[in-house]
Structure 1
Amino acid sequence: MYKAFFGLSDNPFSIAPNPSYLFLSDRHREALAHLTYGLGETGGFVLLTGEVGTGKTTVSRCLLRQLPENTDTAFILNPSLTELELLATLCDELGIKYGENPTLKQLTDLISQFLLNNHQAGRNTVMIIDEAQHLRAEVLEQLRLLTNLETDTKKLLQVILIGQPELQHLLKRQELRQLAQRITARYHLLPLTEQEISLYVQHRLRVAGRSEPLFNQGAIKALHRYSGGIPRVINLLCERALMAAYGQNRTPINKQMVAAAATEVLGEPVGKGKAPWLWGSAAGVLVAAIATGVWWWTGADHLAAAPAETVVNATVQPAVPPQTNVASQLLTSAIAKSQDIDTAYAGLFALWGEAPFVGVSACQSAQQLGMVCAQQQGTLPQLIALNYPAVVYLKSAEQLFYGVLVKKQQQQLLLQLNEQQFWVSQSWFEQHYIGTYEVLAKKTADTPAQVTPSANLEQVQWLENSLAKAQQRSPRAMSYFDSELAQSLQQFQTAHQLPVDGRAAADTIAVLALYNSHQGPQLVAGDRS
């Protein structure tokens, strides 16, 4: 009803998946590149995770359109199935006929024969499972057994698992360790930044027939504040704000209209308590906030003030231990306020004595500050071995939240959540940690942008020295990029879940820089060797 008023030919913010409105942010493009690379390898499993509404299905549909014509695909949207039901659904998707009441063996044999015939005909077979966090462990194991069918060079069935962050938790189970080892590429899709939201909103308006901006900068900031960068929520907020603007007969849409829309859409009043951190002054704000207190949380029935210590140049004074219920409320409140990853990034930069730049991503800020940033999948021991503070991805019930792992002392970890720091037990942390972390490091003067087989000798030697340090071996004197160096590089990239493409690109260089740098804050006090 408001389309004519705003000069629109269509509803630009419908939550229905319309290919005409496809918008790929830098993060979506990166996710797509990881999936495409994973499928281009020898097979196995490819993993895409992200919070609800971040655009995982958008990426998967875009991937489908890019698959070669000689590819048969099976898209499974409801994975809450038994092993038998899953195999029957796979047969249905691939057009494999089977009799009434088939057994597990009969379906497996039919699928295996189909895969062999497809391979002999020069065709590929890809299976995509959405909402894969609902898969049972025994069903995932059945999928792994299906991928056992292979030639000398490739798997005959490639599987893409798409799901929410708890899928990463599921794949860490002991009985699924063989499947986890077969994941050739994985990517965790993050929400949109404020800058990306502005581009996203304008893109959808343009597709719907309006080239002039309709949301002012204040409205964009409010969209980022209340949506958390989730595209689906952005659409809901924009739709409601358009209706409000139409009812009031006014443009442009401002932050007050978005705030009112958030109250209606999110079902609760929104106020100052939900405002994001101002990145430009994040370091100063963070220091003042930390000084308010550091709490010791064991995750059970004990909470006490941490001993006085210096944290980011702010002295933390001891406090009177509160009661257990107060402790629980403090932690619950801190978790609820830690759903903005930009806040966590601000905390990490502050530990380095820096503040991120306004309007760019954290990694772009790091680059401008002469640093590198790297997102990794790994266990807590692997993170501790790097000995850097890190933004960590955590889960409480159905809620994803972000913190900064600041320090480790014995079996206790200092975790920063929004404006407070808590000493938590290692077991509490591992119960909530979903296996993704992001770290910063200072570049050394000789850090190259990338190292390829045709690189000069100085860069090749840097790569060999860096790999040797990371792999705890003695470096060799290099004369060219030889096969042994290529093998060491492949082992390093595989171990760190990086693209294995025969060269050390920016993401590999960033992780290697973590081993080379001797500067910056440490999780455990001591020399970083």
Structure 2
Amino acid sequence: MYEEYFGLKKKPFSIVPDPSYFYMSDVHKEALAHLLYGVKSDGGFVLLTGEVGTGKTTVCRRLLELVPEDTDVAFILNPKVTAEELLATICDEFGIKYPDGTSSVKVFVSLINDYLLDVHLRGRWAVLIIEEAQNLKPEVLEQVRLLTNLETNRHKLLQMIMLGQPELREMLLQPQLRQLSQRITARYHLGPLSKEELSAYVDYRLSVAGLIRGQLFPPAVLKKLYRLSGGVPRLINVICDRALLGAYVQGKEHVDSKTLTTAAREVLGREAARVQKRRMYQGAAGLVVLLCVSLGALYYAHYHTHQSISPATFDGQAAPAGKTAARTPVAKVRTASVKPATLEPPPGHTGPMTQEMAYQALFRQWNIEYNRQDRRTTICEQAKLQGLGCLKGRGSVTMLQQMNRPAVLKLIDNKGGEYYATLTELKEKTATFVVGDETRLVGAKQIAECWSGDYLLLWRAPKEYREELRPGYRGPMVPWLEKQLASIYRDKAPAVTGQAYNGDIVKQVKKFQLGTGMVPDGIVGPKTIIRLSAAAGSRDPVLYVSEGSN
């Protein structure tokens, strides 16, 4: 309806997972790399999770376009089935014939095994992809695990990819499913887009749809779109589609803030109202807490002031007649400073001020000194002078968890201004930041709402490290690498012959990279070294302590 009006060839924000609209954000690139590796790895079992609308299905559709020709794929869309029905569906997808009325698990598994052996003998690969895997019942998940037992003496016969919502990860933590969980060789969680990625995402889809002139979503509108959608691609699509329709009906050349808000209210409906009400209650609760703490502090001051002038000695005995007990000096009681659980910048602090204070807080985490007065030396140069490396980049919250190092993050306030804070602790539901000179405990979800995606962290390079390792490298870093892998995999890492980085040790590094959310290219640079050191239990500062760490 509005396509011709805005000069578009087709609708830019359809929620149908069209691969031509697939925008490759950093997190989507990593997710796709994991799936592609799972297709070709020996015995690969890849788990991809993400909230509703973050792009799991679109990534999967893109994967199907890139699957090599020597690969047979079984794609399960509706896993709300019994174990027998799942096996029958797998047979249907692979084109395996079975007698009518078959309901025996043993018969199905035997037929699938024969088929997979034939595929293997013909030099082909077989991949099973299960979407919405959080809907699988525990007994069906157990049957999925048993399928991974189909193998030759040297190779697994079936590569498996499961896609699901976050509750799938919780299901796999159940004791009865621990064997299945242990079979997973790579896990990746797909998060929402950052503010900058959202802008690029909208521009990309409009470009694919044929837009060649004008800016349909001005910068201020895109900032509001991020707040309304939370960076979730599906919500971005439905809000933008309705907003373009609204702008068309009103005869406007672009979407304005009011039109966007109306569109969001129409498509989100009660959910938006519920979120707004929850925020209102949270704000009221914060005021109540602040009031209670303030009253408590006043009571504390009043009570202790009267106690300090009581005519009694220290041991509680009455003072002799005619003498006055020595008064204990009354300490000034400072009312507790209650900081709201928010990442908003402290009043009166400019962006550059918060940046310098964030760098100082980061250096404190490493017990080294940052000289804020030194304008001639950059932060990375100051770190290098004290034996540390400096890594800058763009990433996701998942990546921060995997790197497990304190980091300075560039944040964006409600007005679009930039400021900086230091992330010092990251748990499943909470995060601790140093913002200016304040330490704040906030909900972990707030990171995605404020973070631009840019980070800076410090790391300690091994003394043998000079440059990134690529297959074929020879040098003193290889024994260090072997030691880290042996520590992580409990001495199951391959032995190194001489000091050559090749063969089995490269495979082990790729396995580690895949399991920690990296593209498994076998190149050992700063990001891989940081993850290896963290996983091996180095004494460097971390965001969280892993289970089993000393």
Same structural fold, with TM-score higher than 0.5 when normalized by the shorter chain: yes
Q: In structure 2, how many angstroms separate the alpha carbons of the residues matched to 1:416 and 1:485?
A: 41
CA shift for structure 1 position 20: 2.8
Sort the Cα spacing of 1:507 and 1:181 in 2 relative to 1 into closer, same or farther, 3 A: farther
CA RMSD of aligned residues (A): 4.8
CA shift for structure 1 position 154: 2.1
Residue in structure 1 matched with residue 431 of structure 2 by the alignment: 404
Partner residue of 2:261 out of 259, 262, 276? 259
Residue in structure 2 matched with residue 317 of structure 1 by the alignment: 336
Sort the Cα spacing of 1:20 and 1:458 in 2 relative to 1 into closer, same or farther, 3 A: same
Q: In structure 1, how many angstroms separate the alpha carbons of the residues matched to 2:58 and 2:259?
A: 28
Q: Which amino acid aligns with 2:43?
A: G
* Alpha-carbon contact 2:474-2:499 (below 8 Å) kept: no
Question: Could you list the per-position Cα deviations for residues 422-462 of structure 1 after superposition, in whole angstroms to 9, with x for gaps in the alignment?
Answer: xxxxxxxxxxxxxxxxx985212666673234446354466
Q: In structure 1, how many angstroms separate the alpha carbons of the residues matched to 2:391 and 2:470?
A: 21
Q: In structure 1, how many angstroms separate the alpha carbons of the residues matched to 2:210 and 2:502?
A: 55
* Alpha-carbon contact 1:443-1:513 (below 8 Å) kept: no
CA shift for structure 1 position 490: 7.0
Q: Which amino acid aligns with 1:417?
A: G
Sort the Cα spacing of 1:239 and 1:189 in 2 relative to 1 into closer, same or farther, 3 A: same
User: Match of 1:48, SS?
Assistant: strand
2:71 counterpart of 1:71: yes
CA shift for structure 1 position 371: 12
Q: In structure 2, how many angstroms separate the alpha carbons of the residues matched to 1:503 and 1:183?
A: 22
CA shift for structure 1 position 383: 8.3
Q: In structure 1, how many angstroms separate the alpha carbons of the residues matched to 2:139 and 2:263?
A: 44
Residue in structure 1 matched with residue 34 of structure 2 by the alignment: 34
CA shift for structure 1 position 242: 0.6
CA shift for structure 1 position 270: 7.1
CA shift for structure 1 position 15: 1.1
Q: In structure 1, how many angstroms separate the alpha carbons of the residues matched to 2:71 and 2:511?
A: 30
CA shift for structure 1 position 493: 5.5
CA shift for structure 1 position 523: 6.1
Partner residue of 2:469 out of 433, 436, 451? 451
* Alpha-carbon contact 1:3-1:10 (below 8 Å) kept: yes
Sort the Cα spacing of 1:93 and 1:180 in 2 relative to 1 into closer, same or farther, 3 A: same
- TM-score normalised by the chain length of structure 2: 0.64
Residue in structure 1 matched with residue 391 of structure 2 by the alignment: 367
1:174-253 alignment, distance < 5 Å: 174-212=175-213, 213-253=215-255
CA shift for structure 1 position 79: 0.4
CA shift for structure 1 position 186: 1.9
- TM-score normalised by the chain length of structure 1: 0.67
* Alpha-carbon contact 1:54-1:189 (below 8 Å) kept: yes
Question: Could you list the per-position Cα deviations for residues 365-416 of structure 1 after superposition, in whole angstroms to 9, with x for gaps in the alignment?
Answer: x8338999873889xxx989xxx9543445xxxxxxxx31689xxxxxx963
Q: Which amino acid aligns with 1:175?
A: Q
User: Match of 2:69, SS?
Assistant: coil
Q: Kindly tell me the number of residue pairs found equivalent between the two proteins.
A: 424
Q: In structure 1, how many angstroms separate the alpha carbons of the residues matched to 2:237 and 2:441?
A: 33
* Alpha-carbon contact 1:450-1:506 (below 8 Å) kept: yes
* Alpha-carbon contact 2:34-2:514 (below 8 Å) kept: no
Q: Which amino acid aligns with 1:416?
A: V
The gaps in structure 1 that reach 5 residues or longer are 277-288, 297-303, 309-314, 320-332, 338-345, 356-365, 395-402, 408-413, 421-438
Residue in structure 2 matched with residue 363 of structure 1 by the alignment: none
Residue in structure 2 matched with residue 509 of structure 1 by the alignment: 529
CA shift for structure 1 position 468: 7.4
The farther-off stretch of 254-263 and 460-469 is: 460-469
1:267-306 alignment, distance < 5 Å: 267-268=269-270
* Alpha-carbon contact 2:393-2:456 (below 8 Å) kept: no
1:439-478 alignment, distance < 5 Å: 442-444=458-460, 450-455=468-473, 457=475, 459-460=477-478, 463=481
* Alpha-carbon contact 1:390-1:405 (below 8 Å) kept: yes
Q: Which amino acid aligns with 2:530?
A: A
The farther-off stretch of 225-234 and 121-130 is: 121-130
User: Match of 2:391, SS?
Assistant: helix
* Alpha-carbon contact 1:223-1:258 (below 8 Å) kept: yes
Sort the Cα spacing of 1:256 and 1:466 in 2 relative to 1 into closer, same or farther, 3 A: farther
Sort the Cα spacing of 1:469 and 1:176 in 2 relative to 1 into closer, same or farther, 3 A: closer
Sort the Cα spacing of 1:107 and 1:517 in 2 relative to 1 into closer, same or farther, 3 A: closer
Sort the Cα spacing of 1:159 and 1:334 in 2 relative to 1 into closer, same or farther, 3 A: farther
Sort the Cα spacing of 1:374 and 1:46 in 2 relative to 1 into closer, same or farther, 3 A: closer
CA shift for structure 1 position 18: 2.3
Residue in structure 1 matched with residue 16 of structure 2 by the alignment: 16
* Alpha-carbon contact 1:444-1:517 (below 8 Å) kept: no
Residue in structure 2 matched with residue 353 of structure 1 by the alignment: 361
Residue in structure 2 matched with residue 426 of structure 1 by the alignment: none
CA shift for structure 1 position 137: 1.3
Residue in structure 1 matched with residue 373 of structure 2 by the alignment: none
2:82 counterpart of 1:82: yes
Residue in structure 2 matched with residue 118 of structure 1 by the alignment: 119
Sort the Cα spacing of 1:442 and 1:374 in 2 relative to 1 into closer, same or farther, 3 A: farther
